[in-house]
Amino acid sequence: MNKELKKFIKPILWSLAFLFVIFVSDPSTSFGGTADPKPGDPHPYTFLTREADMSKILSVLENRVGSQKLIEKAKDRLFTFNDAKTRLMSDLADRIVKEGNTAGGDIAFLLITALIILS
């Protein structure tokens, strides 16, 4: 890779990592939290919920990514993630659907992409 491209990509990756840490560690956002059921939780994270979340994530990826080959690779990676990551990406997919082609939607898509690629 040439030096100009590295100078351009490095700040973007650091910014994405920073945003990821902020969204995951802040419990006031819809992104924080864990997928572990709490005692007395009326809606524990079940297999059907996980399947619905996977479907939502794949639907968003299909709308944003044109290559079916990339979709299949992402699908294979999604099935290896634990419940917490799946839930996080589902919340990000909700944000993309809600906000559309805004800066918030684009950042959420970049975070989903980073999670799939880097995990």
How many angstroms separate the Cα of 66 from the Cα of each of 36, 60, 69, 70, 84? Answer: 34, 11, 9, 8, 27
**Tally of CA atoms within 13 A in the half-sphere of 71 that contains its CB:** 14
Residue 52 Cα to chain centre, angstroms = 14
Q: What is the pTM of this model?
A: 0.61
- For the chain, the domains span 46-118
Q: Report CA torsion sign: 62, 66, 71, 72.
A: positive
Place of tokens 């079940």: 46
Q: What is the pLDDT along the chain (119 residues), one digit of tens a residue?
A: 567 666 667 677 667 666 665 655 544 444 444 445 555 555 566 767 888 888 899 999 899 888 889 889 888 898 898 888 888 899 999 999 998 888 888 899 999 988 888 87
Contact between 53 and 3 under an 8 Å Cβ cutoff? The reply is: no
The Cα 15–Cα 23 span in angstroms is 12
How many angstroms separate the Cα of 50 from the Cα of each of 72, 88, 118? Answer: 18, 11, 21
